[in-house]
Amino acid sequence: MQADSPLLDRQTEFLLHWAMEAVPVPIMIVDATATFRCWNRACERMLGIGAEHVLRRSIEEREGFNVHALWLDYLRWVFYDDRKSIQAHFENAQPVKSVPGAWQATIQLPCGDDIRDVELYAAPIRNGSGEFLGVFQTIRDLRERKKLIDQLLHAQKMETLGTLVAGVAHEINNPVNLLLYNIPLFEKLWQDVLPVLAGRVLPGETHRYAGLPVAFLQENMPALLSDMKFAVERIARIVSGLKSYSRFGDPSEKKPFSLNEAVENALRLAQTTIRGRRIVSRVELADDLPPLVGSLHSIEQVVLNLIVNAVQAIDHSQGRIDIRTDVRSDGYMVLTVADNGKGIDPSIAPRIFDPFVTDKQDKGGTGLGLSVSYNIVRAHGGTVRFRSQPSAGTMFQVLFPVGERKPIRRILVVDDDPLIRDLLSDVLISNRSCTVEEAASGIEACIRLGAFHPDLLVIDLFMPEMNGLEVCRIIRNDPEFRELRILVITGHSSHASLDEIRRMQRTDVLFKPFDIQEFLKKVDKILSE
């Protein structure tokens, strides 16, 4: 991009340049000599054509600037107002009423190796006396908008389906209840009637009722009735599950309920999804959970979403899903759903709780499951977090504060060995209420300190480039980090640098090898001081 008009002072020119480069919308400006004067970075990205091929070249110059004929035609049209020759291409072009001379058209444009539906907007640039200086133009990719509209329609369909399911479940409920009450009555009746029927049969005679011999009925009828009872109970369970699933979580509902009950109900609903797949599910529910207050049905929905996601993520035949509830000593009640599936795609992991983020478009996924779940959990005063590794699995945790709420601690883990870094982070996240960030070197640690402001820094002593001691020195000399606690981890118990570290304030050392409990105890002790 260039904006070197003598009309602009250098500072304005710089600001304009910066703004054009920073804006994520493709913008181009062609001047009155039909020469490109601006081709911002978003333009380069979208069209796959570097600014160096375009700037200061006339739109007629094709050499080195591989642009589609339509594109040139379009510019000619906007530029010379040569509408007739290209009208065929831009049947849908519309003047923009609010801006004199501006046009908007939806066209197909070559973007790199792709042809995309885009919306072009072009407006003439004129100076104060109305003199024509050039054309300002933006391009809008319509794919995202189309995708959002499709997803919205799909979500609306799902909502309608939810209402339908609720209606059907309600209708089935009454007949199912009828069966549920009457089958036990029949069982009792059968016990009373059986001796009467048997007494009517004379020795040596084979009397039949409903075509079946009395001896057969005597032997099999109790089992038939109990199978019927079992089947009806199953229908009742499914209906009750569907009813609670389709009912949208009412934040005004504030009744005490057990997290375990929500898990059990969700598990029942999930059985149809789990069954038939080679997945072993292990459930460990703590029996001393305090009650949660809110909507049981909404929390069921959260658990169900997590379980279904876990099932869908398992793409091999040795699937495992662990579901656990417990109360931790730090005052949080935790639900954990962990799987050994394919892991969350790193490209979507940062947006996982946003609506419509999904990798299951082709399988009917809406990408709403986690966003709805997140909102429900937040409405109950809790939070959701996850940890995932490609090809290894994912662990989601839902945390609800119980009793006294303790502040969530921030911990920065620094180690050049990714295995140790991940292990320590995992252990902290799974066992303590804390937010963890990681850094792979001393330099990265220093960069993150300012933005993350941790309460505790867990740092390896020996790392290439900048080691743990150097980082500690920087921190202890910076008043901004006076309160920051440091835990230095090292396998060398008698290294010279340890003396210096031991003399530092609020700095502890833990020697490798250590076991995880020892590590957690040390972290707790440091943070409670």
Ligand X SMILES: Nc1ncnc2c1ncn2[C@@H]1O[C@H](COP(=O)(O)OP(=O)(O)OP(=O)(O)O)[C@@H](O)[C@H]1O
Q: Of the candidates 138, 295, 309, 497, which one interacts with Mg ion according to CB under 5 A?
A: 309
| Sequence letter at residue 86 | I
By CB under 5 A, the count of residues binding Mg ion is: 2
Min dist. Cβ of residue 368 to ligand X (A): 5
Nearer Cβ to ligand X (158/293):
158
Examine residue 373 and tell whether it contacts Mg ion (CB under 5 A). Answer: no
Q: Of the candidates 26, 134, 249, 365, which one interacts with ligand X according to CB under 6 A?
A: 365
Q: Of the candidates 137, 366, 431, 433, which one interacts with ligand X according to CB under 6 A?
A: 366
Contact indicator for 338, 294 with CB cutoff of 8 Å = no
Examine residue 200 and tell whether it contacts ligand X (CB under 6 A). Answer: no
Nearer Cβ to ligand X (341/468):
341
Segment lying near ligand X (by CB under 6 A), choices 261-269, 366-374, 479-487, 511-519: 366-374
Segment lying near ligand X (by CB under 6 A), choices 68-76, 217-225, 363-371, 480-488: 363-371
DSSP character string of 96-135: -TTSTT-EEEEEEEEETTEEEEEEEEEEEEE-TT--EEEE
Closest CA to 444 of 457, 455, 426: 457
Contact indicator for 39, 46 with CB cutoff of 8 Å = no
User: How many Cβ atoms are within 10 Å of 260's Cβ, its own excluded?
Assistant: 16
Segment lying near ligand X (by CB under 6 A), choices 183-191, 270-278, 359-367, 397-405: 359-367
Min dist. Cβ of residue 247 to Mg ion (A): 18
What distance in Å separates the CA atoms of residue 185 and residue 81, rounded to the nearest whole number? 88
Min dist. Cβ of residue 351 to ligand X (A): 9
The two tokens of residue 97 are: 């009423």
Examine residue 319 and tell whether it contacts ligand X (CB under 6 A). Answer: no
213 three-state secondary structure: strand
Segment lying near ligand X (by CB under 6 A), choices 103-111, 230-238, 276-284, 350-358: 350-358
What distance in Å separates the CA atoms of residue 297 and residue 249, rounded to the nearest whole number? 6
Examine residue 305 and tell whether it contacts ligand X (CB under 6 A). Answer: yes
Residue nearest to ligand X (CB): 369
What distance in Å separates the CA atoms of residue 265 and residue 275, rounded to the nearest whole number? 16
The two tokens of residue 207 are: 């009397």
Of residues 383-402, those binding ligand X (CB under 6 A) = 394
Q: Which of left, alpha, beta for 240 (phi over 0: left; psi -120 to 50: alpha)?
A: alpha
Examine residue 341 and tell whether it contacts Mg ion (CB under 5 A). Answer: no
Segment lying near ligand X (by CB under 6 A), choices 67-75, 198-206, 230-238, 353-361: 353-361
Q: Which does 270 bind (CB under 5 to 8 A by kind): ligand X, Mg ion, none?
A: none
Q: Which does 368 bind (CB under 5 to 8 A by kind): Mg ion, ligand X, none?
A: ligand X
Which residues are within 8 A (CB) of 225 and not within 5 positions of it... i.e. 6 or more apart? 183, 186, 187, 190
Nearer Cβ to ligand X (374/481):
374
Q: Which does 358 bind (CB under 5 to 8 A by kind): Mg ion, ligand X, none?
A: ligand X
Segment lying near Mg ion (by CB under 5 A), choices 28-36, 222-230, 307-315, 451-459: 307-315
Examine residue 300 and tell whether it contacts ligand X (CB under 6 A). Answer: no
Residue 290 DSSP code: P
Examine residue 425 and tell whether it contacts ligand X (CB under 6 A). Answer: no
Min dist. Cβ of residue 373 to ligand X (A): 7
- Strand 292-294 to strand 456-460: parallel, antiparallel, or no bridges (unpaired)? unpaired
Nearer Cβ to Mg ion (265/309):
309
Closest CA to 476 of 452, 507, 448: 507
CA 46 vs CA 106, 114, 374, 385: distances in Å: 16, 10, 33, 34
421-454: b (≥16 Cβ within 10 Å) or e? beebbbbbbbbbbbbbbbbebbebbbebbeebeb
What distance in Å separates the CA atoms of residue 51 and residue 66, rounded to the nearest whole number? 12
Strand partners, 486: 457, 507
Min dist. Cβ of residue 216 to Mg ion (A): 50
By CB under 6 A, the count of residues binding ligand X is: 24
Examine residue 208 and tell whether it contacts ligand X (CB under 6 A). Answer: no
Q: Of the candidates 124, 367, 382, 442, which one interacts with ligand X according to CB under 6 A?
A: 367
Contact indicator for 360, 309 with CB cutoff of 8 Å = no
Strand partners, 104: 94, 121
Q: Of the candidates 241, 369, 442, 468, which one interacts with ligand X according to CB under 6 A?
A: 369
Give me the residues that bind Mg ion (CB under 5 A), please. 309, 369
Give me the residues that bind ligand X (CB under 6 A), please. 305, 309-310, 313, 339, 341-345, 348, 352, 357-360, 365-371, 394
